[in-house]
Structure 1
Amino acid sequence: MKAAAPGTNPELEAVTPPRRGTAERGRNAVAVVALSAVIAVGMIHAVPTFGQLRRLGDGGWALVARFLLAVALIIAVGRLGGWVAARCRQPRVVGEMAAGIALGPTLLGQFAPAVQHALFPADLVPELGLVAQLAIIYFVFLLGTDLPLDLLRGSGGRVAALGAGMVAVPLGCGLLLAAGLAADYRPAGVGSVPFLLFVGTAMSITAFPVLVRILAEHDLIRTRIGTLGLATAGAGDALSWFLLVMVVALAHGDSAAAVLPTAGWLVLFTAVTLIVVRPALRRFLAAAEHTAGGRRIAIAVLVLCALSGAAVTDWIGVHAIFGALLVGAVVPRENSVVRGLGRTVGRGVTLVLPLFFAVIGFSMDIGLLGDVRDLLLCGLMVLVAVVSKVGTTTLVGRLTKLTWRESLGLGVMVNCRGLTELVVVSTGLSLGIIGPDLFVMFVVMTLVTTAMTGPLLGWLRLGATPADALSAERSGTTHATTGEPGRTRGVEDPF
C-alpha cells in the first residue's frame, strides 16, 4: 500500500469527492429548476401572444393574404431603403427608418391615401404591431448580449467622466427644454416629473449597436479612439437605461412612495437574474454547445428566456424591453451558442425589423408639425440634442488630455441615436408620457443625429494610424463580446 504524503489526511480525501459530487449535483438541480421556471414563464407568455394572430385566421384567407402582403411590402421597401442608405455611405438602419416613415401618413398617405389604406388597413395594424414588438424584444435582448461590459470594467476614470458628462448635460438640457414644453405638449393626466425626466432621458440616449456598425465601416474599432468611443457609449447607455426604468416606474405612480413596490420588484428580479439565472444559463450552455442538437435546444431556451424576462418586467409595470435587456446582459458571452446568435435569432430579427419602423410610420404624421412654431421647436430640439452631446463630450475629452480632433470625434460618435432612441420614444408614446406631436419631433431628431454621424467622422479623418493599430494589437483590444477585432456579433445587417 502506498504511504500517504506528509500533511495529508487519507480519511478526509476519501470523503471529499462524494461531497464535491453532492455539491455539483445540487448546483445542477438548481440550474434545472431555475431554467424550467424561466422556460415555463416564457411559454405561458408566448401562447397568448402568438394566439393573438389567430384573429387573422378568423377573418378567412383574404385577411391572411392581406397581412402577408403587407409584411412582404414593408420588408421589401425597408430593404430597399437600407440598400439606398448603404450606397450613400449611411447605416442601413437610416434608410429603413426613412422607408418605414414613408409608408405612413407622412408620405404615402399624403399622395395616395386610398392606396395607403388599401395596403395597410387599420384592422391589420395591431397584428403588425405585435410582430414588431416581438422583433424589438429580441433586438433589445441581442443588444444586451452585445453591451461592452468588458470595456467598461477596464476603462478607468476617463470613460466614467465621459459617460457621466454625455448623459448629465443632455439630461439637464432636456429637463429645461421639457419645462418650456410642458404647458403645451404634456399629455393630460401625465405628471410633471415623469414628463420632464422622460424628455431629458430621451435626449441623453446613444445607439451603441448603430455606432458599432459606423465605426466598423470607418475602420475605427481597433483604434484607441474607437475603443474609447464604444466604452463611453456603453457607459452612457447603461446610465440612460437605468434612468428610463425609473421614469417608467414613476409614470405608473402618483408619488415617490407609489414607485417603491415597482422598484422593489425590479430589484428582486435583477437579483434573481444575476444570482440564479446567470449561473444556470452558464452551466446549461456549457453542456449544450458541444452537439448540434444541444445548440438548437440552447437557442430555443435563450429565445424563451428573453420572452420570459420581457413578460416579468411587463408584469412589474416597467416595460417589456427592460427584462429582455437584462436577460441579454447576463447571458455568458464566451459560449459559442451565444456568439452565433447573430446568425440565427439575429437574422430573423433583421428580416422583420422594418415592421417596427413601419408601425412607427403609421403612428406619426409629419403634418403634425405644419405649424411654424412646431417646426421651430423641432429645429431647437435637434440643436439642443447635438450641442449638448457633442459639446459636452468634446470638452470632457479635452479635459482628459485627448486632442481636439479626438475629443470632437468622440462627441460625434455619442451623438448617434439610431434605433435605440426610436425604441425609447416609442415606449414613451405607448405609455402616454409624450403625445404624437412630440413623438414626431423626437423621430426627426433621431434621423438627423444618426445620419450626420458617418459623414462627420469621415470629415474628421480619425482612421487608424500604424501606431494606433500596433497599440490595439499589443493590448489585445477586441470587440467586447465577440473577441474579434472590428466585428459585432449582434444583429448584423440593419446596423
Structure 2
Amino acid sequence: MPTLLEVTTHLFLQVAVILIAYRVFVLIFRRLGQAQVVAMMVAGFALGPSVLGWVAPSVQEWIFPTELVVEGIAVTHPNLTAIYVIGQLGLVLYMFMVGASFKLDILRSHSRQATATSAAGVVVPLVLGGVTGWLLVDAGGFFTAKVESWQGGLFLAAAVAITAFPMLAWIIYDAGLLNTRLGTMSLSCAAVDDACAWVLLATVMATTQDSMSGALIAVGGGAIYFLFMVSVARRLLARFHTWTTSQTRQEESSSIPISYLSIVLIVVVLASWFTDLVGIYSVFGAFIVGAVMPRGELLDRILERFEPVVAYLLLPAFFIYSGLNTELSLIFQPVVLVAGAAVLAVAFAGKFGAVYLAARWQGMSRREAGSMGALANARGLMELILLNIGLSADLITSQLYTVLVLMTIITTFVAGPLQRLFERSAWRNGFVFGPSGEAPKPDPDIAEQAAPRQQAPAR
C-alpha cells in the first residue's frame, strides 16, 4: 500500500498530465469550432484505457492506476479515489454554478410558443429511450441485476431526453442567437428537458434502493430538502441580496468578504452531503442551492471566483475518471455494437426529429427548425453526470456506460457544426434568424439572463 506521500506525489503528476492533455485538446477542438466540454470529454477518453491504454498500456497503467493488490485481494487504488474525490468536488461546485445561472425568465416569457416544441422534445425521446432501455434490460449485460425493466426504461429515457442547458446557452450566445426565436425557444426546451430527465433519474435512484425504507428515505428526504430550500433557505439567503460593492470597499480588501464566501461554500457542501446521505446524489443538492441563491452582485462575484478553479483544475478530473471507466474495446462485441447503434439512432433521431417537426408546426422555417433540432442534441457534461451517477449507484454495466459515453461525445460533437450548417444554408438563401430580418447579434441583457457568462466553465 503506497504511503500518503507517495499518493500525493503521484497525484501531482496525474493532475499535470490531465491539465496538459486538456489544454492540447482545447486548442485542437477550438479550431474545429467545438466548445470546451467536447475537448474535456475527448481528453478524458484519450487518457483512459481506450486510447492511451491501447497505444502504451504500461504507461497508462503507471500514470493512472485503477487497482492495487493487497494480500491477494484487488482493491481500488488510492490515486483513483483521489481523482474521483477531486472530480466530485468540481462537479458539486459546477452544478451550483449551473443552478445559479439557471433562470426561468426565458421559459416564462416564451411559454406558449415553446410548449409544443418542448413537449415533443421530451415525450418522443422519453418514449423511444424508455422502450430501448426496457429491451436492453431484457437482453441482459447492460443493466445490473438490481434494475427492473421499467427502471432501465426510465434511466435510458432520461439519458436520451437530456439536453445540456449550460452548454446550449454557451453555443447560442456565441452564435449571436440569444435575441432570436431560435435561441429563446431552444433554451426553453432545454430547461424543460433537463428538469424531466433529472426527475426521472431521481425516481430511478429512489426506487432501486436495497429496501423499501431506503426508497422512502430517498423520496421523502429529497422532498423535504426541496421544500426547505425553496421556502426557508431561500429567505435566509435573500439577505445576501443587500450586498453591494460599496460595502466591500469598507472592508480591507476590494474582493468578496470571506465570511460571505465561506457561508455559501458551507451551504453547498452541507446540501451535497444531505442529498448524498438520503440517496438522491450530491449534484441535486448543489443545483438547488444555486437555483435559490439571490441574483445580484455578490453571486456574480462568487461565480467569477469559482469559475477558474472549477473549469481548469477540478472539473477535468471528473472527465478523466469518466474516461478511465470507458473501454472502447467493449463496443466491438456484436451485441454491444448493435445496442450502441440503436441507442445512437434513437438519441439523435428522436431529439432531432421531434424538435424539428414541432418547430415546423410552430411556424418555423425548415432551416430554423433544423437548427433547433441540431442544438437539442448538445448533451455534454449533463449526460456524463447522469451516466456516472448510474455507474456509481451500480445501475448500469461498463458495456452500457461505454455505449452512452460514445453517444454523448458523438451527438455533442455534431450539434454545433450541424447548427452552423443550417445557418449557412439560411444565409445563402437570403434568410436570417434575426427577429426582424437583420443578422443575429448578441443582446447583452438577454445574454446576462440566459447564459452563465462568457468566461464560464466548459459546457
Q: TM-score, normalised by structure 2?
A: 0.88
Q: Do residues 110 (structure 1) and 66 (structure 2) align?
A: no
Corresponding residue for residue 149 of structure 1: 104
Corresponding residue for residue 30 of structure 1: none
- The residue correspondences of 1:412-451 to structure 2 (distance < 5 A) are 412-451=374-413
Corresponding residue for residue 11 of structure 1: none
- CA distance in structure 1 between the partners assigned to 2:17 and 2:420 by the alignment: 34
- CA distance in structure 2 between the partners assigned to 1:446 and 1:176 by the alignment: 19
Q: CA RMSD in A?
A: 2.4
- The residue correspondences of 1:22-421 to structure 2 (distance < 5 A) are 58-60=3-5, 62-122=6-66, 123=77, 124-183=79-138, 184=140, 185-252=142-209, 259-287=215-243, 290-291=247-248, 292=254, 295-333=257-295, 335-352=296-313, 353-421=315-383
SS of the aligned residue for 1:488 comes to coil
**Cα deviations across residues 267-306 of structure 1 (Å, max 9, x unaligned)?**
1111110111111111134247531465443223222221
8 A contact 1:340–1:489 mirrored in 2: no
Q: CA deviation at 1:339?
A: 1.8
- CA distance in structure 2 between the partners assigned to 1:310 and 1:422 by the alignment: 18
Q: CA deviation at 1:477?
A: 6.1
SS of the aligned residue for 1:152 comes to helix
Letter in 2 for 1:286: T
Q: Structure 1 464/341 Cα, relative in aligned 2: closer, same or farther at 3 Å?
A: farther
Q: Structure 1 294/214 Cα, relative in aligned 2: closer, same or farther at 3 Å?
A: closer
Q: Structure 1 465/430 Cα, relative in aligned 2: closer, same or farther at 3 Å?
A: same
8 A contact 1:143–1:490 mirrored in 2: no
**Cα deviations across residues 332-375 of structure 1 (Å, max 9, x unaligned)?**
12x11212333211111001211111111111211111213322
Letter in 2 for 1:59: L
- CA distance in structure 1 between the partners assigned to 2:292 and 2:386 by the alignment: 21
Letter in 1 for 2:233: V
- CA distance in structure 2 between the partners assigned to 1:399 and 1:360 by the alignment: 39
Q: Structure 1 201/59 Cα, relative in aligned 2: closer, same or farther at 3 Å?
A: same
8 A contact 2:256–2:302 mirrored in 1: no
- CA distance in structure 1 between the partners assigned to 2:455 and 2:162 by the alignment: 19
Q: CA deviation at 1:262?
A: 2.5
SS of the aligned residue for 2:452 comes to coil
**Equivalent pairs, count:** 432
Q: Do residues 465 (structure 1) and 402 (structure 2) align?
A: no
Q: CA deviation at 1:74?
A: 0.6
- CA distance in structure 2 between the partners assigned to 1:127 and 1:203 by the alignment: 30
Gaps of 5+ in 2: 67-76, 249-253, 427-431
SS of the aligned residue for 1:136 comes to helix
- CA distance in structure 1 between the partners assigned to 2:412 and 2:258 by the alignment: 36
- CA distance in structure 2 between the partners assigned to 1:471 and 1:456 by the alignment: 17
- CA distance in structure 1 between the partners assigned to 2:437 and 2:163 by the alignment: 25
- CA distance in structure 1 between the partners assigned to 2:397 and 2:234 by the alignment: 38
Q: Structure 1 261/117 Cα, relative in aligned 2: closer, same or farther at 3 Å?
A: closer
- CA distance in structure 2 between the partners assigned to 1:435 and 1:387 by the alignment: 24
Corresponding residue for residue 12 of structure 1: none
Gaps of 5+ in 1: 1-54
Letter in 1 for 2:369: S
SS of the aligned residue for 1:415 comes to coil
8 A contact 1:222–1:464 mirrored in 2: no
8 A contact 1:288–1:298 mirrored in 2: no
- CA distance in structure 1 between the partners assigned to 2:222 and 2:451 by the alignment: 33
Q: Structure 1 284/313 Cα, relative in aligned 2: closer, same or farther at 3 Å?
A: same
Q: CA deviation at 1:427?
A: 0.5
Q: Which runs of 4+ in 1 moved over 3 A?
A: 257-261, 292-296, 462-466, 468-474
- CA distance in structure 1 between the partners assigned to 2:289 and 2:273 by the alignment: 12
SS of the aligned residue for 2:436 comes to helix
Q: TM-score, normalised by structure 1?
A: 0.82
Q: Structure 1 83/105 Cα, relative in aligned 2: closer, same or farther at 3 Å?
A: same
**Cα deviations across residues 300-324 of structure 1 (Å, max 9, x unaligned)?**
3222221111111111111111111
8 A contact 2:180–2:435 mirrored in 1: no
**Once the two structures are aligned, what percentage of the paired residues are identical?**
29
Q: Structure 1 491/421 Cα, relative in aligned 2: closer, same or farther at 3 Å?
A: farther
SS of the aligned residue for 1:269 comes to helix
- CA distance in structure 2 between the partners assigned to 1:283 and 1:85 by the alignment: 42
SS of the aligned residue for 1:307 comes to helix
- CA distance in structure 2 between the partners assigned to 1:111 and 1:227 by the alignment: 45
User: 164-173 or 403-412, which moves further after superposition?
Assistant: 403-412
8 A contact 1:93–1:419 mirrored in 2: yes
Q: Structure 1 364/294 Cα, relative in aligned 2: closer, same or farther at 3 Å?
A: closer
Q: CA deviation at 1:468?
A: 5.7
- CA distance in structure 2 between the partners assigned to 1:439 and 1:287 by the alignment: 45
8 A contact 1:222–1:469 mirrored in 2: no
User: 456-465 or 362-371, which moves further after superposition?
Assistant: 456-465
Q: CA deviation at 1:160?
A: 2.4
- CA distance in structure 1 between the partners assigned to 2:454 and 2:89 by the alignment: 16
- CA distance in structure 2 between the partners assigned to 1:253 and 1:196 by the alignment: 19
- CA distance in structure 1 between the partners assigned to 2:51 and 2:440 by the alignment: 49
8 A contact 1:148–1:234 mirrored in 2: no
